[in-house]
A and B are shown apart, each in its own frame.
Chain A
Amino acid sequence: MKKVLTLWLATITLLALPAAALADASLDSTTLLRFSQDARSDLGTRTYVPLTEFLGFDADKLGDGKLSAHLYGWGRLDLAERYLTPGQAESSMDGRLTYGYLQYRFNAANAQARAGRFFVHEGIVNEQVDGASARTDLPYGLGLSAFGGATVHTSFIPGQRSDGKGDGIAGGRFNYRYGGLLELGLSGVFESKAPALNDPTLAGRFGGHRLIGADLWLSPHRMVQITGRTSYNTETEGVAEQSYRLQLKPLRDLTLSGEYNAYHDRDMFYSSALFATLLNGNNLNQQSRSLGGSAGYQLNEKLETSADYKHYSRDLGKADRYGAELRYNLPDGALRAGLGYHYLRSSPEFAIIPSDSASGSFHELRCFAMRDTKSYVASLDLIDYLFRRAVEGKRSALELSGSLGYHLTPSLAFSGDLSYGSNPQYSDEVKGLLRLTYTTKIAGKGDTK
Chain B
Amino acid sequence: MRRPPQTLTFLVLAGALFALAACAQLKALPNLPASHPEELATGPVSCSECHEDGQKGTMKPFAAFNHSRAFIANHRFYATADDVLCASCHKVSFCADCHTNQTEIKPSVKNGNRPDRAMPHRGDFLTLHKIEGKLDPASCYRCHGRANNERCVACHR
- Total interface residues on B, CB under 8 Å, equals 93
A338 CB contact (under 8 Å) in B100, B116, B124, B147: B116
Cross-chain contact B148 with A325 (CB below 8 angstroms): no
**Interface SS, B side:** loop
A412 at the interface (CB under 8 A from B): no
Chain A residues, CB < 8 A from B2? none
Cross-chain contact B146 with A164 (CB below 8 angstroms): yes
Q: Which interface residue of B22, B88, B138 has the most chain A CB atoms within 10 A? A: B138
B79 at the interface (CB under 8 A from A): yes
Tell me, rounded to whole Å, the shortest Cβ–Cβ distance linking A371 to chain B: 11
B109 at the interface (CB under 8 A from A): yes
Q: Knowing A154-B101, A351-B131, A405-B113 touch, does A278 contact B156 (C-beta < 8 A)?
A: yes
Q: Spot the interface stretch: A10-18, A37-45, A379-387.
A: A379-387
Cross-chain contact B34 with A105 (CB below 8 angstroms): yes
A274 to B146, CA, bound (A): 7
Chain A residues, CB < 8 A from B43? 329, 333, 336, 447
**Contact indicator per residue, chain A 302-336, by CB within 8 Å of chain B (1) or not (0):** 00101000001010100100000101010111001
**Contact indicator per residue, chain B 120-157, by CB within 8 Å of chain A (1) or not (0):** 00111011101100111110011011111110111011
Closest to A99 in B: B92
Chain B residues, CB < 8 A from A306? 69-70
Q: Knowing A257-B70, A272-B146 touch, does A60 contact B34 (C-beta < 8 A)?
A: yes
Q: Knowing A126-B142, A219-B64, A433-B109 touch, does A288 contact B137 (C-beta < 8 A)?
A: yes
A421 at the interface (CB under 8 A from B): yes
A316 CB contact (under 8 Å) in B37, B60, B128, B134: B134
Tell me, rounded to whole Å, the shortest Cβ–Cβ distance linking B71 to chain A: 9
**Interface SS, A side:** strand
**Contact indicator per residue, chain B 61-92, by CB within 8 Å of chain A (1) or not (0):** 10110001110011011111101100011111
Chain B residues, CB < 8 A from A294? 70, 73
Tell me, rounded to whole Å, the shortest Cβ–Cβ distance linking A364 to chain B: 8
B41 at the interface (CB under 8 A from A): yes
B16 at the interface (CB under 8 A from A): no
A405 to B115, CA, bound (A): 14
Chain A residues, CB < 8 A from B92? 56, 58, 70, 72, 99, 119
Closest to B44 in A: A329
A9 to B154, CA, bound (A): 26
A174 at the interface (CB under 8 A from B): no
B51 at the interface (CB under 8 A from A): no
Chain A residues, CB < 8 A from B80? 121-126, 215, 229
Can you list 11 residue pairs at the A/B interface with Cβ under 8 Å?
Answer: A26-B91, A56-B93, A58-B91, A157-B153, A183-B58, A263-B138, A288-B136, A314-B134, A380-B115, A397-B123, A444-B35
Contacts A128-B101, A449-B117 known; list 20 others, CB within 8 Å.
Answer: A74-B100, A85-B150, A98-B96, A119-B99, A138-B29, A154-B102, A175-B81, A179-B59, A183-B58, A183-B60, A312-B135, A338-B115, A349-B134, A350-B131, A366-B122, A370-B116, A379-B115, A425-B126, A435-B112, A445-B35
